Amino acid sequence: MYQFLLTVMLILSVLIIIAVIMQPSKQNSAASAFSGGASELFGKAKARGFEAFMKRATTVLGVAWVAVAIGLAFLSSK
pTM recorded for the entire structure: 0.70
b/e 2-36 (16+ beta carbons within 10 angstroms → b) = eeebeebbeebeebbeebeeeeeeeeeeeeeeeee
pLDDT, tens only, 10-65 = 999 999 999 999 987 776 655 555 655 555 555 566 667 888 898 999 999 999 99
- Say what the pLDDT of residue 78 is: 79
- Say what the pLDDT of residue 50 is: 85
- Say what the pLDDT of residue 14 is: 97
| Residue 67: pLDDT over 80 | yes
Residue ranges per domain, the chain?
Answer: 1-23+46-78
